[in-house]
């Protein structure tokens, strides 16, 4: 009986190829199929950013590249349909005995499509073994770029997407010592206004494209008002600084 392939969710870090872990590189190198998400992970020329990172370290000539479309939408039906379709494409390889590596920026279980995909794969191929290989997250790389400790001693931390509900941001700023705001690009004016209102604008640092050649660190977050910012942008607010 043909042995079912194994699915790996592999985090390739935020952008710098040297931040890929040894285990991640080994798993990618050993697997015949590389699955790549196409959505925010695609650059202007349509290429996967995760794949751009990987190909700096690993020869891909003999690999089959499986492109998976994930729409940038909050439409639940569209999201479920895309995940089911992607899982079906992956399971065709798994059931044929081929291992598949799903590469993703950052970590595969932190705001990643991989975590949303796993239940669909388990439903379609319950016999398949699924493993996650952790990667360096964008907020850890951003903290390093800004030389800002995320937390010390008994300090508390919250990580939330800024684009969904500004009241959640307000509540987090009140309740936690450090707040990391993901996806601030489309709501930067509102976020800056809230930081000024709460007197925290001088406790904040903005980082975009951490680990890439276009990396940008801004400590004067108020100066960002009105700017069109990169999708891969976040703000770290640490009250103890």
SS (H, E, C) 115-130: HHHHHHHHHHCCCCEE
Q: Tell me the CATH class for 138-238.
A: alpha beta
Once rounded to an integer, what is the mean pLDDT over residues 10-17? 95
pLDDT mean across residues, the chain: 93
- Dihedral over Cα of 162, 167, 168, 172: its sign: positive
pLDDT for position 167: 92
**Which residues, listed in sequence order, are joined to residue 49 by a DSSP beta bridge?**
none
| pLDDT tens by residue, 28-51 | 999 999 999 886 554 555 678 899
Q: Rounded to two decimals, what is the model's pTM?
A: 0.91
Q: Give the pLDDT confidence score for residue 71 in this predicted structure.
A: 83
- At how many degrees (to 10) do helices 113-124 and 76-95 cross? 60
Residue 40: its pLDDT value, please?
52
> Are the C-beta atoms of 136 and 14 separated by less than 8 Å?
yes
Half-sphere exposure of 229 (CA within 13 A, CB side): 27
Measured in residues, the chain has a length of 241
- Note the pLDDT tens digit of each residue in 94-143: 999 999 999 999 999 999 999 999 999 999 999 999 999 999 999 999 99
| Integer Cα distance of 40 and 113 in angstroms | 11
| From-to residues of CATH 3.30.950.10 in the chain | 138-238
Q: According to the model, what pLDDT value does residue 46 have?
A: 62
Look at the domain 6-133 and name its fold: Cobalt-precorrin-4 Transmethylase; domain 1 (3.40.1010)
Tokens for 72, please give them.
Answer: 């940038």
Residues of the chain with CATH 3.40.1010.10: 6-133
């Amino acid at each position: 009986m043909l042995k079912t392939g194994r699915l790996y969710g592999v985090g390739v870090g935020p952008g710098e190829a040297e931040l890929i872990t040894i285990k991640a590189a080994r798993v990618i190198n050993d697997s015949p199929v590389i699955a790549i998400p196409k959505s925010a992970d695609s650059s202007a020329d349509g290429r996967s950013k995760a794949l751009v990172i990987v190909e700096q370290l690993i020869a891909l000539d003999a690999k089959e590249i499986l492109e998976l479309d994930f729409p940038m939408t909050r439409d639940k039906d569209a999201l479920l349909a895309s995940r089911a379709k992607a899982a079906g494409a992956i399971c065709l390889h798994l059931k044929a005995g081929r291992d598949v590596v799903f590469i993703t920026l950052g970590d595969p279980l932190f705001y990643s499509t991989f975590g949303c995909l796993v239940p669909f794969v388990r439903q379609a191929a319950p016999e398949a073994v699924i493993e996650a290989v952790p990667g360096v997250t964008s907020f850890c790389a951003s903290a390093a770029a800004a030389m800002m400790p995320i937390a010390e001693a008994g300090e508390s931390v919250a990580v939330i997407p800024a684009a969904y509900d500004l009241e959640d941001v307000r509540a987090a700023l009140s309740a936690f010592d450090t707040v990391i705001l993901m996806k601030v690009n489309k709501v930067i004016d509102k976020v800056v206004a809230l930081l000024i209102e709460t007197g925290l604008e001088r406790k904040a640092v903005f980082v975009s494209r951490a680990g890439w050649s276009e990396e940008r660190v801004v400590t004067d977050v108020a100066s960002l008002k009105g700017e069109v910012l990169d999708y891969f942008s976040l703000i770290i607010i640490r009250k103890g600084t």
